[in-house]
Amino acid sequence: MIELKTTDYVKPWISGLEPYVPGQTRVGFIKLASNENNYGPSPKVVKEVRKWAGKIYMYPYRDSEVNEAVAKYARVSAENIVPGNGSDEIIDIIIKTFRGPVGALIPSFIEYSAFARIMGVEFIGSSLKDDFGFDADKFIRETGDANLLFLCSPNNPTGGVIPREDVVKVLGTGKIVVVDEAYYEFYGKSVAELVGEYDNLIVTRTMAKAFGLAGLRFGYAIASPKIAGAMLKVKPPFNVSLITQAAVIAALKDTTYMRKCVKRIKEDTKLLFNALNRKFTAYPTESNFVFIDTAPKYTSKEFFNRMLEKRFIVRPFGRIPGFPGEYSRVNAGTTEETKKFIKALNGI
Ligand SMILES: Cc1ncc(COP(=O)(O)O)c(C=O)c1O
């Protein structure tokens, strides 16, 4: 047997990395840890997925139909769209395409720094304010050496948003600015139409959340044709599967279903916020999840275990560098699940 000395082959900056740890999924437990839409996809999407099952011997070929449907939904042109295998892949494509260093907020979605590190690109973090609010001047100053900036609005995991005028201020740096709008449908406001004005703006979105398609993996970028054109050179061929294409087209034909889910989920997020805020410190959210500080009552691990005993899975973050608390995130499930969670929460 040949014994491989991995350090001779693995890129040196990869050796020190840790694999991504997703929110846990356990059979028989209610998962409120990955900001999914627990109502699931539209029944019309399920029907379409079944219909296309026998066609999977073919490579995906409905790219232009998908791009047209997404563009219509996002109120832009098809030439502004880059489709991805989840918005995770869009982030990966962006970091492969544009020069680093990469700058982003702390705390924010972990994949900006993770993909930068995988590519051996320097990452520069800039902390949110003590109350997790956004300070544009501080962000611009602290990411001065970065060439590629990631904003996230509503921000995962805090739930807060970045006002449009602050996005415009960051765009004024002339750097490539990504605004991750994974939770756009819950917030209802977007900066996507600014792509007509700013060549340096990329808006990313996903159909994993409000549309309930997390398992199929579909996300997209909205950008000027110049930026989209550069990203398309990096995008792997056939990155969106034939089944996913069918599901995306069907889901975008039935936005009424999605909007119904969003309405309910937003109402339930308010109930969840109030319940969590009575016990701990909860931060205002424009999304389908609530960010909380459980200190001094519990560490986030203790809170996770207490809820696990009641058969709920939440997302523990523990300590976040530069912030004093013990943080966790909980998303609203279906109304029934959310109500059950609140009852269980009141019992710990
Ligand atoms: C802010 C943000 N961006 C991107 C993603 C990735 O989404 P997708 O499932 O489309 O890869 C997530 C998922 O949690 C997210 O919270």
Q: Report the atom number in ligand 1 closest to the C-alpha of 219.
A: 10
User: Residue 156 in contact with residue 35, Cβ under 8 Å?
Assistant: yes
Residue whose CA is closest, atom 15 of ligand 1? Answer: 182
Residue in 88, 93, 162, 183 to alter for ligand 1 test, most ligand atoms within 8 A of Cβ: 88
Residues contacting residue 60 through CB under 8 Å, at least 6 positions apart: 238, 240, 241, 242, 244, 245
**What are the structural domains, with CATH classification, of the chain?**
6-40+256-346 (3.90.1150.10), 43-254 (3.40.640.10)
Q: Is the pLDDT of residue 72 over 90?
A: yes
Confidence of residue 267 (pLDDT cuts 50, 70, 90): very high
In percent, the amount of the chain with pLDDT more than 90 equals 93
- Ligand 1 centroid–CA 347 distance in Å is 32
The pLDDT of 105-120, averaged and rounded, is 97
Residue in 108, 111, 286 to alter for ligand 1 test, most ligand atoms within 8 A of Cβ: 111
Q: Which residue has the tokens 């087209």?
A: 249
Tokens of 196: 């007509």
Start-to-end Cα distance in the chain: 54
Residue whose CA is closest, atom 14 of ligand 1? Answer: 34
Q: Tell me: the pLDDT tens digits for 294-309?
A: 999 999 999 999 999 9
Report the alpha-carbon distance of residue 347 to residue 343 in Å, rounded. Answer: 6
Of the candidates 171, 167, 186, which has an alpha carbon nearest to the alpha carbon of residue 227?
Answer: 171
Q: What is the pLDDT at residue 272?
A: 98
Residue in 89, 105, 115, 156 to alter for ligand 1 test, most ligand atoms within 8 A of Cβ: 156
Q: Tell me: the pLDDT tens digits for 123-135?
A: 999 999 999 999 9
User: Residue 20 in contact with residue 110, Cβ under 8 Å?
Assistant: yes
- Ligand 1 centroid–CA 36 distance in Å is 10
Q: What is the pLDDT at residue 175?
A: 98
Q: What is the pLDDT at residue 16?
A: 85
Q: Report the atom number in ligand 1 closest to the C-alpha of 218.
A: 10
- Ligand 1 centroid–CA 182 distance in Å is 6
Q: What is the pLDDT at residue 19?
A: 86
Q: What is the pLDDT of the chain when averaged over all its residues? A: 96
Q: Tell me: the pLDDT tens digits for 212-242?
A: 999 999 999 999 999 999 999 999 999 999 9
User: Residue 44 in contact with residue 254, Cβ under 8 Å?
Assistant: yes
Q: Is the pLDDT of residue 6 over 90?
A: no
Q: Report the atom number in ligand 1 closest to the C-alpha of 34.
A: 14
Phi, psi of 182 (to 5 degrees): -55, -30
Q: Tell me: the pLDDT tens digits for 144-167?
A: 999 999 999 999 999 999 999 999
In this predicted model, which residue has the larger pLDDT, 291 or 1? 291
The pLDDT of 59-67, averaged and rounded, is 98
Tokens of 279: 């016990």
Q: What is the pLDDT at residue 193?
A: 94
User: Residue 210 in contact with residue 269, Cβ under 8 Å?
Assistant: no
CA distances from 269 to 77, 108, 159, 230 (A): 33, 20, 11, 38
Report the alpha-carbon distance of residue 56 to residue 101 in Å, rounded. Answer: 40
Confidence of residue 2 (pLDDT cuts 50, 70, 90): confident
Residues with CB under 6 A from ligand 1: 35, 86-88, 109, 152, 156, 180, 182, 206, 208, 214, 219
Confidence of residue 18 (pLDDT cuts 50, 70, 90): confident
The pLDDT of 160-176, averaged and rounded, is 98
Confidence of residue 7 (pLDDT cuts 50, 70, 90): confident
Beta-strand runs (E) in the chain? 30-31, 81-84, 102-106, 123-127, 148-152, 176-180, 201-206, 219-223, 281-283, 289-293, 312-313, 315-318, 327-331
- Ligand 1 centroid–CA 299 distance in Å is 25
The pLDDT of 231-254, averaged and rounded, is 98
| Three-state SS at 193 | helix
Q: What is the pLDDT at residue 4?
A: 80
Residue in 20, 87, 315 to alter for ligand 1 test, most ligand atoms within 8 A of Cβ: 87
Q: Report the atom number in ligand 1 closest to the C-alpha of 35.
A: 14
- Ligand 1 centroid–CA 79 distance in Å is 23
Q: What is the pLDDT at residue 178?
A: 98
Report the alpha-carbon distance of residue 207 to residue 321 in Å, rounded. Answer: 31
Confidence of residue 121 (pLDDT cuts 50, 70, 90): very high
- Ligand 1 centroid–CA 54 distance in Å is 29
Report the alpha-carbon distance of residue 81 to residue 56 in Å, rounded. Answer: 24
Residue whose CA is closest, atom 16 of ligand 1? Answer: 156
Tokens of 41: 């996809």
Of the candidates 110, 130, 107, which has an alpha carbon nearest to the alpha carbon of residue 324?
Answer: 130
Q: Report the atom number in ligand 1 closest to the C-alpha of 155.
A: 1
Q: What is the pLDDT at residue 153?
A: 98
CA distances from 321 to 26, 246, 318 (A): 29, 43, 10
